[in-house]
């Protein structure tokens, strides 16, 4: 049974992005996301990449905390990303998701 997944996408020479990371709702809060994130970073390094990037919504408070705990640093904000790319309104943690927070880590 699959309970978690991540997707790596090369974006530039030496740079790969984690474009999706997810854990089944019934298994969240057990450290699986952190383990997946660490596995993705190790995989990227094994493949010869020197930088890993990830992005998340401004309202994704838990994800922002997790990514920073795993060594990612905020490097930029893509203003209105979710307004441009999604027709439906996204609300998380009582906050409207509008901007993409970009994070990066040298490995």
In this predicted structure, what is the pLDDT of residue 51? 98
> What are the per-10-residue average pLDDT scores of the chain (107 residues)?
96 96 94 96 97 98 95 98 97 97 98
pLDDT of residue 19: 95
Alpha-carbon torsion angle 16, 79, 38, 23, nearest 10? -110
Give the integer Cα–Cα distance in Å for 80 and 8.
24
What's 34's domain CATH number? 3.40.630.30
- Containing structural domain, residue 27: 4-106
pLDDT at 31: 94
Element holding 62 (H helix, E strand): helix 61-69
Ramachandran bin of 9, using left for φ above 0, alpha for ψ from -120 to 50, beta for the remaining angles: beta
Q: What is the pTM of this model?
A: 0.92
pLDDT score of 107:
96
- N- to C-terminal Cα distance for the chain? 31
| Domain count along the chain | 1
């Amino acid at each position: 049974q699959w309970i978690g997944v991540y997707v790596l996408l090369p974006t530039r020479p030496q740079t790969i992005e984690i474009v999706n990371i997810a854990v089944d709702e019934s298994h969240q809060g057990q450290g699986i996301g952190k383990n997946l994130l660490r596995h993705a970073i190790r995989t990227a390094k094994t493949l010869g990449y020197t930088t890993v990037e990830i992005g998340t919504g401004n309202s994704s408070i838990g994800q922002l905390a997790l990514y920073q705990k795993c060594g990612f640093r905020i490097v930029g904000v893509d203003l209105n990303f979710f307004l441009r790319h999604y027709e439906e309104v996204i609300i998380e943690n009582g906050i409207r998701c509008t901007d993409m927070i970009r994070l990066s880590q040298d490995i």
